[in-house]
Amino acid sequence: MSDRSRHSALRVGLLLLFVSCGASLGACGDGGPAPDYTVEELEAAKAQLRDHARLRTFEAGKLFGDEWVARAPDDAELRGLYAYQLVGWGLSNEIREQADAILADDPDNPWGLYARAYAHLVDGDAKLAHETVREAWEASPQPEFAFLYLRALASSDFEAARAFLESLDEEIRAWPEVLRMQAELESAASYELDDPTWADSSRATWAEFKEQFPNHVLGHTRLANEAYNARRMDEWTQLMEAALELAPGSLEVRSQHWRGLWMSELLPSEERLPAVEASMAAYREASPETVEGMQGVASMYRQMEDEERAAELEARIVESDPGSYHASLVYMEEMRRVSRELYEIREEHGADSPEYRAQLEVVRDAAYGFLERPLYNDRFKGGVYIDLFRALEATDPVPAEELAEAIRGLVKYERLNPHITFGDAPLAMIDHTPYALEAADIVREGTHHTLENLRDVRSFFDTEGEWDQMLRGTLSGIYDRIGWAYFKAGRTEDGRHTLERALAIAERNRDVRYHLGQLYEHLADEAEEEGDAEAVTEWLDQAEDSYIAGFGASRGENPNETALEALYERRNGGREGIEEYLATLDERDRIRRRERILESRVEAAGTYEPFQLARLDGEMVDSADLEGKIAVLHFWGTWCGPCIVEMPEYQKFDERYRDDAEVAVLSISNDRANDIIDEYLAKNDFDFTVLVDEGYVERVGVNAWPTTWFVDRDGYVQFVKIGTALKLDEEFSWRVEAIREESSSP
């Protein structure tokens, strides 16, 4: 045992001596008041806090902990166990208060370090959390600390978490929360290691968990979640009933129950609301009324689109404590609603509509209103500054000073979306404010965060080539924004050299091509002022080449196309002949895209895992029936924004091959309920074939949407397309015809 551990043990011993002395004699040593509890009662209180954690009844657990911490404020273990109840409420400030109270007299106390680590974790700093709890573990290796160490490591360093788990002895590994982390790490391994068999291991571990700890609610709820995803609703019902019997007053369990009743096809639609409300009533009866509980019920009412009852509960939360964490959640929900309305108005009326312009002002006012509230902490400010920035950027004219201040707030508070904080935002500052060099500084200072975020998603890239492409694109973007800032600030040569460096890193970066074209046109203007006609022609030629290289590089509006048209008019004195000119360029781009796509064929083609999946009408489709055909398997979901964008083109592609006996086009939806898919298809007049995912996506390790496999007649995947296509119908058909041509060759 280390000296620190011995000192901690000595303190605990002295505390127990004090408690025993007070309980039996009425006073101790300095004549202080005797505690109003016995040692046995204190230990029973700790056991009860552990029971609340086991049952996930954090609402009652916090109230119980409030009482006992007031009675036994000097017991570090009690405070640590109470801190875990606060984790269930998301109360990082109060968790930190518990840590500070423990560590004030004993800076090395393991329970104090444990509580402080949880505060870091709730605040979203997993790295600092695992560094802090490691000290607690090294001082006192006990299961609670091992669990938190694993939980924090799993969020920041998957391999280190696995190694730590393997290092634990059998006694620690048999503790329920540590076994829980084994199951969660196995589930993560199916993605991190691109091996779907780990998902089976995770399910097996959860089954073992439930068998070994039948009174621990997580064994039931995690298996119920797996059953729900696989549409095994009878199994889900049995598991949820067992969980509710154990913990009728757990908001966590109840929320899972409510969502299952409401969203599944377990009940007819007319019976869902009464079933959810009956479960809500049972929850209120079993649990004390708390703001945590009111928040959970309000959230469910919002999901059921009962805005009135949700608003009533949220008003009570705010009235009870306007500066509380849960009141801040209410303010944040208000902000999210106006932002969602902005998106819906844009989809319905367009970005140029009066309705959209009016809603921009609503979002702007709501953001300022939120920032003036008595907020619990700064946690949500970053997201609000994103909404404010987007609204101001879309305002016409852009309010330069206001936008600059919003971006400064964004830089101060937002780290979850570095592509916005250190990408889109400084670019807007360059384009719309006089603070271009300040924007360049923001980009430089954010480089570390940008690259760290990129490192965190490394596992999403299957090949080194894909990873290299993403890395080059990111680095090119950093140089692009800095170079553009130099140019806009009048440092033309610095801008040119930096932009050309960005181009050298990623030559297909359309933004770099556009910015360089603009810079070359500026140099042409300067040459024209100097009367150097030859230099004017040279710079305009370079601008034209730059725009052409960036032409057709991505979906949606492309600034190179607009700039190229303007340059054509400049050089030709009007638009006569421009359609023929652009058509020539479009065909050139089409040839280049086709060459790149055909070069993307899988180097070592392999077969895919067989499946038997149901269509929406219940008819089964067996992958064995695809033998001898060219198959296109398209993984998507209505929840996937990029998938939805390309669905009209996917419908055209499906129609192209619908009557082709040699080609089978199938989509596999990852949605949770069939009625969601049916409603989407009907709304958009789509009739392509949809298979319902029954865990197949998880088994084969598809973790990016959309993903499309192009399979030859022998069942080998010859092309894989991840993400949206620029022109889906055209580009998908190139792959199909390439496979057909190869299989037809002698």
H or E, element range at 95: helix 92-103
Task: State residue 109's pLDDT score.
Answer: 97
Mean pLDDT calculated for residue range 482-509: 94
Q: What is the DSSP string of 307-348?
A: HHHHHHHHHHHHHH-TTSHHHHHHHHHHHHHHHHHHHHHHHH
Residue 691 has pLDDT above 90, yes or no: yes
Q: Which of 255-269, 338-352, 636-650 has the lowest mean pLDDT?
A: 636-650
Mean pLDDT calculated for residue range 278-286: 97
CB 433 within 8 A of CB 426: no
Q: What is the DSSP string of 231-268?
A: T-HHHHHHHHHHHHHH-TT-HHHHHHHHHHHHHSSSS-
Mean pLDDT calculated for residue range 535-539: 95
Q: How far apart are CA 61 and CA 583, in angstroms?
A: 69
Mean pLDDT calculated for residue range 529-544: 94
Q: Where are the domains of the chain?
A: 1-156, 158-212, 214-288, 508-599, 612-744
**Per-residue DSSP letter, 388:** H
pLDDT band per the 50, 70, 90 thresholds, residue 196: confident
Q: Which of 55-64, 156-165, 527-536 has the lowest mean pLDDT?
A: 156-165
Residue 743 has pLDDT above 90, yes or no: no
Mean pLDDT calculated for residue range 607-636: 94
Residue 416 has pLDDT above 50, yes or no: yes
The 10s digit of each residue's pLDDT in 417-450 is 999 999 999 999 999 999 999 999 999 999 999 9
Q: What is the DSSP string of 644-686?
A: HHHHHHHHHHHHHHTT-TTEEEEEEE--S-HHHHHHHHHHHT-
674-684 helix and 641-657 helix, angle to the nearest 10 degrees: 70
Number of H helices, E strands in the chain: 36, 9
CATH code assigned to 508-599? 1.20.58
Mean pLDDT calculated for residue range 75-86: 97
CB 450 within 8 A of CB 467: no
Q: How many CB atoms lie within 10 A of CB 12?
A: 16
pLDDT band per the 50, 70, 90 thresholds, residue 230: confident
Instruction: Output the six-digit token pair for 38.
Output: 């016995």
Q: How far apart are CA 422 and CA 389, in angstroms?
A: 13
Task: State residue 556's pLDDT score.
Answer: 54
CB 384 within 8 A of CB 371: yes
- % of the chain exceeding 90 in pLDDT: 74
pLDDT band per the 50, 70, 90 thresholds, residue 554: low
CATH superfamily of 612-744: Glutaredoxin (3.40.30.10)
Q: Of 245-249, 587-591, 667-671, where does the model show the most confidence?
A: 245-249
Which residue reads 């993560």 in tokens?
Answer: 188
- CA torsion 103-108-112-113 (nearest 10°) is 130
pLDDT band per the 50, 70, 90 thresholds, residue 460: low
Residue 8 has pLDDT above 60, yes or no: no
First to last CA, the chain: 76
Is the pTM higher than 0.85?
Answer: no
Q: Please state whether 695 falls in left (phi above 0), alpha (psi between -120 and 50) or beta.
A: left
The 10s digit of each residue's pLDDT in 139-193 is 999 999 999 999 999 988 889 999 999 999 999 999 999 999 999 999 998 877 8
Which carries the bigger pLDDT value, residue 7 or residue 102?
102
Q: Which of 103-112, 552-561, 566-575 has the lowest mean pLDDT?
A: 552-561
Contacts by residues 173-179 (CB-CB < 8 Å, ≥ 24 positions apart)? 174/212, 175/143, 175/146, 175/147, 176/54, 176/209, 176/212, 176/213, 176/216, 176/218, 177/143, 177/144, 177/147, 178/143, 178/146, 178/147, 178/150, 179/205, 179/208, 179/209, 179/212, 179/213
- CA torsion 622-624-629-632 (nearest 10°) is 50
CB 54 within 8 A of CB 81: no
- Look at the alpha carbons of 669, 674, 676, 681 in this order and tell me if their dihedral is positive or negative: positive
Task: State residue 231's pLDDT score.
Answer: 85
Please name every residue paired with 615 in a beta bridge, in sequence order, or none if there are none. 691
Which carries the bigger pLDDT value, residue 646 or residue 259?
259
Q: Tell me, which fold does domain 1-156 have in CATH?
A: 1.25.40
CA distances from 289 to 293, 315, 323 (A): 7, 15, 19
CA proximity to 282, closest of 306, 257, 311, 316: 257
Q: How far apart are CA 333 and CA 599, in angstroms?
A: 47
CB 660 within 8 A of CB 692: no
